[in-house]
Amino acid sequence: MSLLAQSSAVIGMNIKSLPRRLWMSLAMVLASAVVVAVLLAFLAMAKGFEATLQSAGQEDVAFFIRTGSAAELNSSVMKEQVDLLREAPGIASDENGKLVSPELYVIVDGTKRSSGTDANIPLRGIEQQGLALRNNFKIVQGRLFTPGTDELIVGEGVLRQFEGFELGKEVRFGKNRWTVVGVFSTGGNVFESELWADAKVIQTLYNRGSSYQSVRAKLTADARLEDIQAYIKNEPRLNQEVQTEANYFAVQGEGLSYMAIFGRVISAVMALGALAGALNTMYTSVSDRAKEIATLRAIGFSNLSAFIGTMAEALVLALFGGVLGALAAFLLFDGLSASTLGGSFTQVVFSFEMTGQLVMQGIWLALFIGFISGFFPAWRATSVPVAVAFQSRG
């Protein structure tokens, strides 16, 4: 008869005998579940943060900041330079002219709802063309700010995480008072962590003269960054570097990759603990079934079928824990809104994002725990001579 039939019989017997070891088995399931849930929580956080940044960046938008500036915050672009960049090759146009958005980026204070503490929020100065460069921009409450006034609109993420930005509220940053006239969405990306107001008003209130900090420009389908870089290089009045907006945000997100690394380290440490518990459970299981395993081997069942039976028990318990942990992580964390310090020392509001790929990582971790915790006890169960196994149980 095939090994399959023998193994199926042994697996069935092992699973049916689990109630005899209920608490030990549950402990192994729970240990696996906790490890998987913790891993998935960190990975979902990192994934959500990454998605928030990456979904903001577009491949067909060129992003200019001063050479050597790592981010918008410490960059500056003069008005004359903006005019020169408008003439760069590959910049798209519409009926209103070139699709170029010079923008300002200053930091203001906000009070976090979760802790009551102050944290930095970006206040972006933007013009009409800037709105056109955000494909998924839409006003969800109120209206757009009126150019030339001290009105601002607030991202949905800011509204969710910070106090005092509800529609119609007056907010004060230093000496400047602003009125919230609208709430906007950009599809959940990093721009929703910002306040937007008229660029000219911010230039005045923050003594920026006619300067900006970054420039975004829509690219034509056949545009090449190399051509734009050559244009900048050949124009002595320009000292900007250019990259796609997608690349800029990808680089900004790299600094936060510690989340995933930290999560994996924590999970690895916890997995070691879970592994110790799981090994104990499986050694107990093998000891509990020593006479049964020896009897089956005496009857003529192969060592391999006994080995597979023990391995299957460990894998089933660990898999059950993994699924439980993934389910708990999904219910507890998926879509959970949080904010953390992003690039430019400002808060980035993001949502935990649980994906099928992350769940599979959790399941693989659980199966790894199951494999290791099953392998050694299974090896012991089948390497002890049958005669000795009978003696060990009196």
Partner 1 sequence: MSDDNLFELKAVAKRFKKGKETISIFDDLNMTIKRGDFLAIMGPSGSGKTTLLNLLGGVDQPTGGEIVFDGARIDGLSEGDLAKWRANNIGFIFQFYNLMPMLNAAKNVELPLLLTSLSSKQRQQRVDTALQLVGLADRAKHMPSEMSGGQLQRVAIARAVVSDPKLLLCDEPTGDLDRQTADEILEMLQLLNREFGKTIIMVTHDPAAARHATHTLHLDKGQFVGKDEPELQEKSA
List residues near partner 1 by CB under 8 A: 1, 5-6, 9, 13, 16-17, 291-292, 295-303, 385-387, 390
The two structure tokens encoding residue 309:
């039976």
**In the complex, least distance from residue 273 CB atom to partner 1, rounded to whole angstroms:** 31
**In the complex, least distance from residue 334 CB atom to partner 1, rounded to whole angstroms:** 39
**In the complex, least distance from residue 325 CB atom to partner 1, rounded to whole angstroms:** 28
Instruction: Tell me the DSSP string of 228-280.
Output: HHHHHHH-TT--EEEEEHHHHHHHHHHTTTHHHHHHHHHHHHHHHHHHHHHHH
**In the complex, least distance from residue 313 CB atom to partner 1, rounded to whole angstroms:** 13
Residue number, 150 or 292, with CB nearest to partner 1: 292
Q: How many helices (H) and strands (E) does the chain have?
A: 13, 15
Residue number, 242 or 381, with CB nearest to partner 1: 381
Can you tell me whether residue 95 is helix, strand or coil? coil
Phi-psi region of 263 (alpha: psi -120 to 50; beta: other; left: phi over 0): alpha
**In the complex, least distance from residue 392 CB atom to partner 1, rounded to whole angstroms:** 13
Residue number, 7 or 214, with CB nearest to partner 1: 7
**In the complex, least distance from residue 188 CB atom to partner 1, rounded to whole angstroms:** 52
Which residues, listed in sequence order, are joined to residue 119 by a DSSP beta bridge?
Answer: 110
Can you tell me whether residue 283 is helix, strand or coil? helix
**In the complex, least distance from residue 384 CB atom to partner 1, rounded to whole angstroms:** 11
Residue number, 7 or 347, with CB nearest to partner 1: 7
Residue number, 124 or 289, with CB nearest to partner 1: 289
The two structure tokens encoding residue 56:
């903001």
Can you tell me whether residue 82 is helix, strand or coil? helix
Cα gap 231→134, rounded to integer Å: 25
Cα gap 354→338, rounded to integer Å: 14
In 10 A of CB 322, how many CB atoms?
A: 30
Residue number, 7 or 281, with CB nearest to partner 1: 7
Residue number, 284 or 303, with CB nearest to partner 1: 303
Handedness of CA 85, 132, 119, 174 (dihedral sign): positive
Residue number, 246 or 384, with CB nearest to partner 1: 384
Radius of gyration of the chain (CA): 30
**In the complex, least distance from residue 389 CB atom to partner 1, rounded to whole angstroms:** 9
Residue number, 280 or 302, with CB nearest to partner 1: 302
Residue with token string 């003696």:
391
In 10 A of CB 387, how many CB atoms?
A: 10
End-to-end CA separation in angstroms for the chain: 32
**In the complex, least distance from residue 324 CB atom to partner 1, rounded to whole angstroms:** 24
Cα gap 86→235, rounded to integer Å: 13
